[in-house]
Chains A and B, each alone.
Chain A
Amino acid sequence: MEFAELIKTPRVDGVALHRPFMPTVEGTLCLTGHHLILSSRQDNTEELWLLHSNIDSIEKRFVGSLGSIIVKCKDLRMIQLDIPGMEECLNIASSIEALSTLDLLSLMYPFFYRPMFEVIEDGWNSFLPEDAFKDLESMTDEWRLSEVNKDFSVCPSYPPLVAVPKYVDDDTLKKAATFRHGGRFPVLSYYHKKNGMVMMRAGQPLTGTNGRRCKEDEKLINATLRPGKRGYIIDTRTINVAQQAKARGGGFESEANYPQWRRIHKAIERSNILQESLIKLVEACNDQSHSMDRWLSKLEASNWQTHVKEILTTACLAAQCIDREGASVLVHGTEGTDSTLQVTSLAQIILDPACRTIRGFQGLVEREWLQAGHPFQQRCAQSAYSNSKPRQEAPSFLLFLDCVWQILRQFPCSFEFSEGFLVLVFEHAYASQFGTFLGNSTAERAKLSLPEKTVSLWSWVNRPQELERLTNPLYEANSLVIWPSVAPQSLLLWEGVFLRWNRSSKCLDEAYEEMGHIIAYNKELQNKVNSLRRQLAQLETEDPLLQSP
């Protein structure tokens, strides 16, 4: 298919672009296969380059012969284009609609994008499971890397290599996989160096209504317990939801068959409810005519903050089991690809200082989201402005980022990255020139040859100039476990994402810059003082030499 067929009008002159808190720009609008470009053709004015895949939906309005298109983006930005001429406007609108809803992955921009920067380190190879396992091996020999899923046949959403208990063989794994939703048998998610406790994740057990059991599954997870120790199973669903799952062949681990495990149910919502919550929240944030009461009641009705609190609480609970109770933990929900990953990844942010570095966070996203089989393609197909009925969309990943931001706010000096990094990851998960978030699993990514045909987001991020921009100036490595507060009074609305386009952030940005200056100046002074003292010390030691004869 040629993009040209979809572009009815490639360019229009005299288009006015309105963006909140920015002056109106007038210029020429161009449509290409992947971009909407507005250029004023004047010096010093920036051009607007918008990826079609970033467009969530559009709205047309007509006043006389002047048409307006309101473009609503997945990163929650809204812009308005005033286009002279009814026909041009309609053509542009339908072209944008066609181009922004292309389903075929191989037509996506990442396959066409050629980097304008030098790739120092290929991000596709930066976080391979075998490398992560090497770190694990240095701490313990109780685990092995299994190739049982080499051809993705045991579990299509798992990577080819997974870490499992050393003395559990591949046959056992295969059998356990038949007993878990989507073949997602329990695998290692995190090893807590301090006390050797582990966190595992899986899909729900397929007990069904007649209480099926699977000896191999029991053996597999019991193999992770130290003698005489008991573990916790954190089911991210309420007991009711878990009960209901039995009717559809799912279920939960019964006390009788898993006597060494204690099950705790939490209440993290499922995907469609989360998507609805996001839509409501963004709607509330965008309506500027609200009175105080209406704003608060809409914020409440969106339930977004409730979800944040619930997810954080569950993650804290998992971390508490591991660090405080000295117990191992198995986390699962239904499929084990959404709420499960929110909990396991956040628990690692809390427990493991390495995850709070820029590189460590990339590794975490790779391990616990991309390789763990979170279906990004489905979940991030549409964002908050979508008109179409949601299918598989859900802001699971955005909620995770929101929770990380909450912890970052509470421990502003313990993260190597700044808020900007989280926002950047959010943007690229929904629309990107990089291939990182394309596809739903490692299997799909391999099939599309993404590592060969596209550039990784990490290749771009891990360059000095980008790293510098994303670094938190306040960072001071903190090797401790960080326990966030989950009281409603402590959790805030993530303004950097949800009010990003609705407020002028000039004052805040300037203050942030000022903070950067103070810190930079501090470093500079320290260096100066140190070097002077060194020189002085040198002089002192030289002096006697000079004088001794």
Chain B
Amino acid sequence: IEHIKGSSVEKLSLTTTGCPLVIQCRNFRVVHFVVQRERDCHDIYSSLLRLLRPVSYEEVYAFSYNPKQNDQQREEGWQIIDLGAEFERMGVPCDQWQLTNVNIDYKVCETYPRDLYVPITASKPIIVGSSKFRSKGRFPVLTYFYQEKKAAVCRCSQPLSGFSARCLEDESMLQAISKANHNSRFVYVMDTRPKLNALANRAAGKGYENEDNYSNIRFQFVGIENIHVMRTSLQKLLEVIGTRSLSMSDFLVGLESSGWLRHIKAVVDAAIFLAKAVTVEGASVLVHCSDGWDRTAQVCSLGALLMDPYYRTIKGFMVLIEKDWISFGHKFADRCDQLDGDPKEVSPIFTQFLECVWQLTEQFPQAFEFSEWFLLQIHEHVHSCQYGNFLGNNQRQREDLRLRERTHSLWAFLMSEKQNYLNPFYSPAYSEAHPVLEPSTLPYHFKFWRNMYHQFDRSMHPRQSILKTVLTMRENNRKAESTLQALEKVMQRQEEDDDDDEQEEVGEEATESTDTERTVEGSSGTESRKQSYGELEGTYNSESAKEEPAVVSLEFGVARMTC
């Protein structure tokens, strides 16, 4: 386990076997160690405490990680995703939208990327004026363009409206967005916060758009809770599912009271609203929350995922994350606690987004090129800090850290392992027939994501995986096809010139592997399981100790090596 993955260490009280040490990892893995001598345990504990909280980026794993690549390969890895090309794919710039260089040196908004797309009619003074009226200078910019209806999805932060303030430039900015779309007379403004939160913000000189001041807008609250609520919610959920010998009742009650699935549903509901407004009504939508980097990122990216089949491919999904999360300044460093920072800034916003996507893959098994392992792997590396992609809070910081020169890109790694992340049921034809997904958000469609929150509790998962079986089978099919061709060729040659003795043994290897060698994972019953079904204690029992966590006794010497 790399140190950075650990989120907390706890030293439990001394027992007869030694001093227990519990490490909770960010990938929801919980590791129990028992160290024999208390003094050693304390040493490990304090070293870990220090190591789990790097104070500067220099200590982060990504800067020492070296996958044996030369500089050119590394550079190529970073070039896999090109956001300029992505906007081109959407059809931007076009007659209504253009690239602006207003933020080319991060002067207008330091948490935005350099390249931004705005309506053609939005002049520089309007942009600058609008940015001054928006929290952290995050003025309305284009994030997705729905070519078919020329409708735009824009994002920004909350206006500094207070109780009555207004800003003509900001109003013109919205006007410009509205005018850029001839399909609709109005722009939806989605405030993704609960109304109460938005109202409270007014006292601090912030707030939301007053419909009277902005012509042609339709204002809408969506009611996604803030980062603090989400953090507590996940904490509660983890607490519940971490309970030993959890009863069904406690599980369901805990699932409910944590509110986690309710929040997931709220995000999906918001994304559906966005997708409908754009694809059905052909209206442009402006999305914001408070700072426009958490809920806004969730809703914009999920909405685009529903609208555009491209984002449901492996490459497209990377582009989507790069665009809506990395470049627009979701604060990965703070939210994922990369450096020892403010615990109040930590929140599982990105995890939540990945879970929303997973919930969609469950409803539309044929619509996504990737399987759940792709999502889990991304989640893993957002926290591992092994790659540079998610370091820092925004593009400017990343440039200062010179990540492209000093670290490697996760996308290159994932691309090289693409085979492992394919969804065997993916059907491009399905996406063609259903470009826009219309998920149902009835409560029973949302399930507990066992593979995320219990990824490392092997005993809880199906012992045989349909996904893996079918994936292997498809791989075999491909091999068999080529073998078949090769064999046919040999046959032909055989028939043509019978007297030619020389024969090649074609495809011998490949056919070997097509003889089904399906694995019964974990060889089912034979392996001893960390599970006991009941009270077989007493005189002739040997199984009752099974509920105990996997206990790893660690010699001090070994522990030191890993420190």
Binding site for B on A (CB under 8 A): 230, 262, 264, 266, 285, 288, 290-297, 299-300, 303, 305-306, 308-309, 313-314, 316-317, 320-321, 323-325, 409-414, 474, 476, 478, 480-483, 485-493, 495, 499, 502-504, 507-508, 510-511, 514-515, 518-519, 521-522, 525-526, 528-529, 532-533, 535-536, 539-540, 543, 546-547
Contact = CB atoms under 8 A, between A and B. Distances in A.
B418 interface: no
Given A320-B543, A525-B484, A533-B511, A488 B248 contact: yes
Contacts of B466: 412-413, 474, 515
B155 to A, nearest CB: 26
B351 to A, nearest CB: 17
A470 to B, nearest CB: 18
Contact of B256 (A300, A324, A521): A300
B534 A314 contact: yes
- Ranked 4 nearest A-B pairs via Cβ: A295-B443, A488-B251, A300-B252, A481-B525
A543 B443 CA distance: 69
Contacts of B461: 410, 485, 490
B477 interface: yes
Nearest to B447: A492
B62 to A, nearest CB: 33
Interface string B423-438: 0110100100000000
A492 B469 CA distance: 21
14 contacts: A290-B443, A292-B443, A292-B446, A300-B256, A412-B466, A478-B520, A480-B520, A482-B463, A487-B246, A488-B251, A489-B241, A489-B454, A508-B365, A525-B480
A14 B349 CA distance: 54
A529 B444 contact: no
Contacts of B454: 489
B464 A529 contact: no
A19 B484 CA distance: 48
A493 B448 CA distance: 11
Interface residues of B, number: 84
Contacts of A528: 480, 484
Nearest to A495: B444
Contact of B498 (A294, A410, A546): A546
Nearest to A483: B525
Q: Quick one: which of A414, A487, A521 has the most chain B CB within 10 A?
A: A487
B324 to A, nearest CB: 25
Given A300-B256, A486-B533, A514 B425 contact: yes
Interface string B222-259: 00000000000000000001000011111111011001
A299 B252 contact: yes
Interface in B411-460: 424-425, 427, 430, 440, 442-448, 450, 453-454, 457, 459-460
A532 B483 CA distance: 10
Nearest to B526: A480
B463 A507 contact: no
A288 B442 CA distance: 7
A474 B535 CA distance: 35
B363 interface: yes
Contacts of B121: none
Given A292-B265, A303-B249, A481-B525, A526 B515 contact: yes
B484 A519 contact: no
Interface in B246-283: 246-253, 255-256, 259, 261-262, 265
Nearest to B511: A529
A320 B491 contact: no
Contacts of A526: 480, 514-516
B204 interface: no
Contacts of A482: 463, 524-525
Given A490-B450, A526-B514, A306 B534 contact: no
Contact of A476 (B259, B364, B444, B516): B516
Contact of A296 (B248, B255, B440, B470): B255
Contacts of A409: 462
Interface string B140-168: 00000000000000000000000000000
Contact of B490 (A295, A297, A525, A536): A536
A536 B487 contact: yes
Contacts of B460: 485, 487, 489-490
A345 to B, nearest CB: 16
B518 interface: yes
A285 B444 CA distance: 8
A414 B531 contact: no
B260 to A, nearest CB: 9
A86 B172 CA distance: 62
B488 interface: yes
Given A297-B252, A300-B256, A515-B470, 15 more contacts: A264-B535, A296-B253, A300-B253, A309-B247, A410-B463, A413-B520, A488-B251, A489-B454, A490-B450, A507-B363, A518-B470, A522-B476, A525-B514, A533-B511, A546-B498
B468 to A, nearest CB: 10
Nearest to A294: B443
B529 to A, nearest CB: 6
The majority secondary structure among interface residues of chain A is helix
B391 to A, nearest CB: 33
A237 B440 CA distance: 41
A478 B524 contact: yes
Contacts of A511: 365-366, 425
A218 B542 CA distance: 27
Contacts of B248: 300, 305-306, 308-309, 488, 491
Contacts of B476: 522
B462 to A, nearest CB: 4
A385 B526 CA distance: 43
Nearest to A490: B460
Contacts of B427: 514
Contacts of B495: 539
A184 B255 CA distance: 43
Contacts of A410: 461-464
A263 to B, nearest CB: 11
B536 interface: yes
Contacts of B424: 515, 518
A306 B514 contact: no
B58 interface: no
B501 A317 contact: no
B503 interface: yes
B310 to A, nearest CB: 20
Contacts of A487: 246, 457, 459-460, 531
Given A485-B531, A507-B365, A515-B425, A300 B524 contact: no
Contacts of A295: 443-444
A294 B474 CA distance: 42
A539 B253 CA distance: 69
A208 to B, nearest CB: 27
Nearest to A523: B516
A522 B443 contact: no
Given A411-B463, A529-B480, A529-B487, A493 B444 contact: yes
A291 B448 contact: no
A492 B490 CA distance: 52
A306 B249 contact: yes
Interface string B501-518: 101000000010011101
